[in-house]
Amino acid sequence: MINYNKICVFDFETDGSDPSVCSPVQLAAVMIDPLKLEIIKNSEFNVNFKPERMEKENFKYDDDILNFHAKVRGCEQKDILDLWKSYPSQKNSWEMFTEYLQKYHHRSTKQSQFTAPIAAGYNINRFDMIIVDRLSTKYNNINKEKRQNIFYMRDIIDIMNIVFYWFENNSELKSYSLDSLRDYLGISKDGAHDAIKDVKDCAEILIRFIRLHRKLSTKISFKDSFSHISNV
């Protein structure tokens, strides 16, 4: 049973660290072909969002967040604010993303949430998916159960979980952050925290783990492995 749904590795850059209130300022994604386990050619998506806060007259940002973005981009805090102001509205950018996802539904069947790409990313369960749920509710991309309907409903691949299972006993990995993982795996950190660089790195890491998993699964049999446990 092969899952034919494409895997969408995505990442938000935001104007805050609390996913329940912050606004996205950038969203990047790439698609993985689930059969060939390769990044689909020309599948890169990259869009900016004007933060919701900037829609109001007297908005204010903490220095911490502006410093962080200024450092990543190598510019001043003021430049960051000017840049964010010039970004397209959240509604338009979100619409672009949902259109992009629709392009990568499972082929030749009727499009539904079952044919939609599987959401994947680093630490997405605790961060990015919360934003997805918020924006889906805001822009009416919800199903009957009032949950987001843009991604496959049965599965979310959080690469951080996979890393945890493989490295829980490995002290060489300093932490479970994406930067530590990049250091450990020998992936360059040039351009890190730019959403498109992050998603490409994550996609390559995920592909490596799925390949490993597929190879191992043919060699390990679970059949009757619980049969020695008596039924109580």
The angle subtended at Cα 148 by Cα 136 and Cα 35, nearest 5°, is 120
2's CB contacts (< 8 A; 6+ apart) are 34, 35
Interface with another protein, residue 194, by CB under 8 A: no
- How far the first Cα of the chain sits from its last, in Å, is 32
Is 96 a binding residue for another protein by CB under 8 A? The answer is yes
Q: What minimum distance in Å lies between the beta carbon of 55 and another protein? A: 11
Three-state DSSP class for residue 160: helix
Residue showing tokens 């309907």: 149
Total site size for another protein, rule CB under 8 A: 28
* Residue 73 lies near another protein (rule: CB under 8 A): no
Determine if 35 is a binding residue for another protein (CB under 8 A): yes
User: How distant is the alpha carbon of residue 19 from its chain centre?
Assistant: 13
Other CB atoms within a 10 A radius of the CB of residue 163 amount to 23
- Compute the least distance from the CB of residue 100 to another protein, in Å: 5
The reply on whether position 171 binds another protein by CB under 8 A is no
Answer positive or negative: Cα dihedral of 168, 170, 174, 180.
negative
Distance CA 5, CA 3 (A): 6
- Residue of 20, 58, 74, 108 that binds another protein (CB under 8 A): 108
Indicate whether 89 belongs to the interface with another protein (CB under 8 A): yes
Q: How far is the CB of 91 from another protein (least distance, A)?
A: 10
Helix (H) or strand (E) holding 29: strand 24-33
- In this complex, which beta carbon is closest to another protein, that of residue 46 or of residue 113? 46
- Which of 81, 88, 98, 179 binds another protein (CB under 8 A)? It is 88
CA distance linking residue 78 with residue 137, whole number of Å: 32
Write the interaction track for another protein spanning residues 110-149; mark x where CB under 8 A is met and - where it is not.
Answer: ----------------------------------------
- Residues at the interface with another protein (CB under 8 A): 2, 4, 35-36, 38, 40-47, 86, 88-89, 92-93, 95-97, 99-100, 103, 107-108, 214, 218
